[in-house]
Amino acid sequence: MNIYVLLKRTFDTEEKISIQNGQIAEDGAEFIINPYDEYAVEEAIQVRDAHGGEVTVVTVGGEESEKQLRTALAMGADKAVLINTEDDLDYGDQFTTASVLSQYLKDQDVDLILAGNVAIDGGSGQVGPRVAEQLDIPYVTTITKLEIDGETVTVTRDVEGDSEVIETSLPLLVTAQQGLNEPRYPSLPGIMKAKKKPLEELELDDLDLDEDDVEAKTKTIEIYLPPKKEAGKVLEGELDVQVSELVQLLRNEAKVV
């Protein structure tokens, strides 16, 4: 089975993030595999171990993304592909990424594609479904369980606090939701083996693409941190006194009534 994982390099939201000139300052920021993509990598490895085949992780970005690809290889993926757009594109959006990935994947013998449900930096959840649409294959989002029996696939997906069971077939794209599995940590032997595993680097020219083919459809106007929250107030006294004070605060300070 040929399994592909769509991987994204994202900043670690557990670390301090600063904004400079309307952009996230990369100096001093910590970058990781998008956490939802880690679920996708783990599930791909488990599917391969159960059904045989090969796991290839693919990302679109610059040379700095190699670290995250090597981490996925250390987890147990077999191969990695970096589609380097650093010299070709000044800016890209979800359309750009999906177009580049689908152009690469259309020439591969694909059985199963896994991606994260969303990226923690943008949170749009568009890339996976866009890739499936461009490849003209079925897709299921926010999955929490995946079972494969021959060409038949049974998927459980999260739907606003409940679950839905869908039966479909390969080839298929799915996006991973929290709860699908528990991603493994790269072991020391895995890290050593990852250094010898193949990592192919491609550019737009290798995919017969130029800038106009993947030009972004959107533009980021500004990035800013949310305003700091002021300390809350604790109301004291009898209930009627608290209610009266609350109304005054809502009217005079919050100006919502």
Q: What is the mean pLDDT of residues 94-120?
A: 95
126 vs 33, 186, 228, CA distance in Å? 17, 28, 30
Question: What torsion do the CA atoms of 187, 193, 198, 202 make, to the nearest 10 degrees?
Answer: 40
- Tell me which of 36-40, 169-173, 209-213 is least confident: 209-213
pLDDT for the residue 22: 67
Separation between Cα atoms, residue 44 and residue 47, nearest integer Å: 5
The pLDDT assigned to 201 comes to 95
Contact yes or no for 35/145 (Cβ under 8 A): no
Q: Is 188 helix (H, G, I), strand (E, B) or coil?
A: helix
Per-domain residue ranges of the chain = 2-214, 228-257
Kindly tell me the number of DSSP H helices and DSSP E strands found in the chain: 6, 13
**Structure confidence at residue 86 (pLDDT):** 87
Q: What are 181-223's pLDDT values in tens digits?
A: 999 999 999 999 999 999 999 999 999 998 888 999 988 887 7
When comparing pLDDT for 228 and 210, which is higher? 210
Maximum Cα interatomic distance, the chain, rounded to a whole number of Å? 74
Q: How many Å apart are CA 58 and CA 79, to the nearest integer?
A: 9
Whole-number average pLDDT of the chain: 91
Q: What's the rounded mean pLDDT across residues 145-165?
A: 93
Q: Give the C-alpha separation, 244 to 251, whole Å.
A: 11
Q: With 90 as the cut, is the pLDDT of residue 31 above it? A: no
- Structure tokens belonging to residue 249: 């605060």
SS3 of 36, please?
Answer: helix
**Both tokens assigned to 180:** 């699908």
As a whole-number percent, the residues of the chain with pLDDT over 70 amount to: 98
Reply yes or no on whether the pLDDT at 118 is more than 70.
Answer: yes
pLDDT digits (tens, 9 = 90+) for 46-71: 999 999 999 999 999 999 999 999 99
Q: What is the pLDDT of residue 222?
A: 79
Q: Is the confidence at residue 95, as pLDDT, over 90?
A: yes
Query: Quick check: 177 pLDDT over 70?
Result: yes
Q: What's residue 220's pLDDT? A: 82
Evaluate if residue 115 carries a pLDDT over 90: yes
**Which range in 7-21, 24-38, 191-205 is most confidently predicted, on average pLDDT?**
191-205
Q: What is the arithmetic mean of pLDDT over 100-110? A: 96
What is the dotted CATH code of the domain comprising 2-214? 3.40.50.620
Is the pLDDT at 13 greater than 90, yes or no? Answer: no
* Tokens encoding 230: 């002021």
What pLDDT is recorded for position 17?
73
